[in-house]
Amino acid sequence: MTLLLFHAGATLAMVGLIWFVQLVHYPLFELASERRFAAFAAEHQKRTAWVVVPLMLLEGATAVALLLAPPLGLGRALPFLGALLLGLIWLSTAGLQVPQHRRLARSRDVAAMRRLVKSNWLRTAGWTLRGALALELVRRAF
């Protein structure tokens, strides 16, 4: 039960964070000044990592644990689907969002900002689905 609660907590924290980033934070990039944009983008990455990396690692570790040893009566289907979604989110992060962040850390690039916002909808949808799955796992366990 503790595993499920840690998993749901990490996942739901990422759901809230990704919606904030998608609707508030990333769109505000376009308002950052040209002169200090590279420093702004680099600092954004550094500060965001302090929040996101521990949550993503906890979420990943608990997702794998649930996949390998699901609590009695829960089966493997939902943990498998959740792990699959998490893998897709991580692939999107590495293949789509990180390259845009690297471009932005070098210079203010409006096209890269827009690609970042557009491609981030994949992660937003993925984490939203993961949040629903995590809540369903908790519901079934109780």
Q: Could you give the number of structural domains in the chain?
A: 1
Chain position carrying tokens 């939203």: 128
C-alpha separations of 55 from 29, 32, 70, 85, 98 in Å: 23, 27, 20, 16, 17
Structure-token pair, residue 134? 């995590």
pLDDT value for 93? 97
Distance CA 130, CA 125 (A): 9
- Per-residue pLDDT tens digits for 46-96: 999 999 999 999 999 999 999 999 988 888 999 999 999 999 999 999 999
User: In terms of residue numbers, what domain contains 15?
Assistant: 2-141
Q: Which residue has the tokens 């109780």?
A: 142
pLDDT band, residue 1 (cuts 50/70/90): confident
Q: How many residues does the chain have?
A: 142
Q: Which letter does DSSP use for residue 30 in this model?
A: G
Note the pLDDT tens digit of each residue in 109-136.
999 999 999 999 999 999 999 999 999 9
- For the entire predicted model, the pTM comes to 0.93
> What pLDDT score was predicted for residue 7?
97
Which pLDDT score, from 0 to 100, does residue 94 have?
97
